[in-house]
Structure 1
Amino acid sequence: MLASSRGISLILAVAISVMVSAFLSLLQDSTPVLILVAFGLSFSASYLLINITLEFLVFREIGNIYSLLEKIQKKDLSEISDKSSKSSISPLRKINNVINSYAIARQKEIDALQKNAEFRREFIADISHELKTPIFATQGYIHTLLDGAIDDKQVRMKFLKRAAKSLDSLDNLVQDLLTLNQMESGVIKFVYTDFDLKEVIDEVIEELEHKASKRKVNISFKYDSDKSYVTHADRQKIYRVCQNLIFNAVKYNHDEGEVKISLKTQKNHIQVDIKDDGQGIPPEDLKRIFERFYRVEKSRNKKEGGTGLGLAIVKHILEGHKSKISVSSTVGKGSIFSFSLPLVKEKELEKNIEVD
């Protein structure tokens, strides 16, 4: 009882009332009735004020602090609210807020560490798988040759070509990893120039025409010949973005399918849409296709080729241009990948030419 707010209030109220009564008893005009009334009033007022003060400003806040500390000790931070507490005259409320803020920060740090740990586990598993395939293939071809097949000229050339192809795949994977890492760390700088986006797409289509013709995939390019499609960006990296997206549209299309590319000018932007009528992407995979090594169909890894880093690189390049890649897809009907770049208007282009 003495440790509670009521017990402390009772003791302090009695002490105050006794002091008031003792003081009144020293006065000549005081009567026993007056002293008794003063004792009762001072006791009641003191008890109420002290009890309310201790209960709401001290004991309740101490209880909240203990409860918060218990959650921290048990590592149960999921129920801690990050809402800022209302202002209070209690000095303990500030301590409670500080502890609460610390607990929230710790929870966010723990969540980030857990997320990073999960990402590292997935990344190590993915990179191990991606590196294992070309290395094991190359080892198999070379050991077969060393075991005697090297004497057969026809077998020797066939196995050497296959080993070289596996090593080329390994080199592409390492190069893409280095590129992605350099982009994330800010080592690679963007070189901005004015160029015609339509010409870049024409170059990519010309490069991929042979691959598309093997599967009889038709690539169509729609744009308004009367409009300008000059943008201000890093030409080489935007070329890689278009190359990757159009290559994927061909690769994941069905035989005799169609890839439709369109350019549209808006107020201050040029929008690029790349549509295919291939297999499409399931909804549960749409949010993850821009992650490293994530593939919609794991069984198609080596059949379709690629390093699994193309879309991750595309995402980082466009984010570096303060743009975003968006995708919409329907399973069995195809996908549409879209992004936009700033449009350089004719007046601005003339000024840039004069400055140059």
Structure 2
Amino acid sequence: MMNVRIRTFTLLCFVLILLMPWVFFVIAHFIDTRSFSLSQANGYTVQMIGAIAGLLLSFFIIGVQMRRLLLKPLEGMSLASRQIAEGDLDVYIPLSRISEIAEVREGFEAMVTGLQKSHRKQMELENNRRFVIAAVAHDLRTPLFALRGYLDGLEQGIARSPEQAAKYVSVCKEKSAQLDRLVEDLFTFTKMEYVEGNLSSETVDLHGVLQRSVDSLRPLAQKKNITIVSEDAGTEHCIIHGDAHLLERAMNNLMDNAVRHTPDDGKIIVRCYRDEQKLIFSVTDSGVGFSEEDLPHVFEPLYRGEQSRNRATGGSGLGLTISQTIVRRHGGELEASNHPRGGALLEGWLPIHSFNHEARVDR
């Protein structure tokens, strides 16, 4: 059945009010006289009763239809609005064949759908927030307890020789660095997930960003005798527009992940080259790679595999999540896979042209 406009419904009601009394008048006259000729009637009492009955019937039909098509949907929207005000988003609004009411109903349903999506997103954010707090609190305990234990050992003189004292100090520095990395990752993750704004736009040499990341992690790589090979198509081809600070943080996380999961005497290959309107970059390590169970969850916050790529490597579980978020904010994408020759492959791309400036993360 097609919808009708309110003016059409009003016109139909007016026609019905005019037509029904006359129809009933004619029917009553025919019943009384067995003829449609009005001149044969001695009186019009029966006919007038029929006309009044037709008028009353028309009012009844119009009232029923107004109740069904106008009043009931409006009452439903009123009840739904009170339910929404009380926090109940599971509402139902009756259908209406009146176009204006149907349009309002569609708008109301769109609003309810938007509220439901917003509520679900808010619940997800709240659950993530609780999960992050609980997980970070758990991760903070281990290095804190170790740091306290070694500091107590130094204070109580357990480390009697200079070599033991140096070892205790070295462990304390390592644990403090782990705490610093965890807190910094948590801070960056919080900014990327919950702070809205525009990313700053500046000319960025991605090759230089990757080289600085390599240089900053080279001392750690040298301790494990890891070889880092940088392959690129020249710095002139690796220029983009973006937030240099955040991009450097993203690349640092990728390099840090590769160094931590590459075994001694391993190799890391860093690539950066241009492909049409995209800038492709990748980091490949010679570790055991990701397991099939881990791959779908690599970029989930605080997810760490239970076997080769786990908490023992010292990661916070936020590094890859932060990197993917930063790359996506710049209009690109970051994906994880295993290289055909073995090892983990983290590959992404960034658009050559400037990105959408609607989501800024203030530093």
Q: Structure 2 length normalisation: TM-score?
A: 0.66
SS of aligned partner of 1:340: strand
Instruction: State the distance in 1 between where 2:125 and 2:132 align.
Output: 10
Q: Does 1:193 align with 2:194?
A: no
Q: Which residue does 1:143 correspond to in 2?
A: 152
Instruction: State the distance in 2 between where 1:157 and 1:259 align.
Output: 31
Q: Which residue does 1:311 correspond to in 2?
A: 320
Partner letter of residue 193 of structure 1?
Answer: T
Gaps of 5+ in 1: 1-11, 345-356
Q: Which residue does 2:357 correspond to in 1?
A: none
Superposed, 1:16-35 pairs within 5 Å as 29=39, 31=41
**Residue 78 (structure 1) shift:** 5.8
**Residue 198 (structure 1) shift:** 3.0
CA contact (8 A) 1:279 1:331 kept: no
**Residue 302 (structure 1) shift:** 4.3
Instruction: State the distance in 2 between where 1:19 and 1:191 align.
Output: 77
Superposed, 1:123-272 pairs within 5 Å as 123-149=132-158, 153-183=162-192, 184-185=194-195, 190=200, 192-195=202-205, 197-212=206-221, 214-215=223-224, 217-224=226-233, 228-254=237-263, 257-272=266-281
What percentage of aligned pairs have identical amino acids?
24
1:283 to 1:17, Cα distance in 2 relative to 1, 3 A: farther
Q: Which residue does 2:5 correspond to in 1?
A: none
Instruction: State the distance in 2 between where 1:180 and 1:290 align.
Output: 12
CA contact (8 A) 2:24 2:50 kept: no
Instruction: State the distance in 2 between where 1:279 and 1:80 align.
Output: 54
1:141 to 1:221, Cα distance in 2 relative to 1, 3 A: closer
Q: Give the length in aligned residue pairs.
A: 325
1:93 to 1:230, Cα distance in 2 relative to 1, 3 A: closer
**Residue 125 (structure 1) shift:** 0.8
Partner letter of residue 190 of structure 1?
Answer: S
**Residue 33 (structure 1) shift:** 9.9
Q: Which residue does 2:284 correspond to in 1?
A: 275
CA RMSD of aligned residues (A): 4.8
**Residue 245 (structure 1) shift:** 1.3
Q: Which residue does 2:302 correspond to in 1?
A: 293
Partner letter of residue 322 of structure 1?
Answer: G
Instruction: State the distance in 1 between where 2:298 and 2:144 align.
Output: 25
1:302 to 1:55, Cα distance in 2 relative to 1, 3 A: same
Partner letter of residue 303 of structure 2?
Answer: Y
Gaps of 5+ in 2: 1-15, 33-37, 354-363
**Residue 304 (structure 1) shift:** 0.8
Partner letter of residue 144 of structure 1?
Answer: G
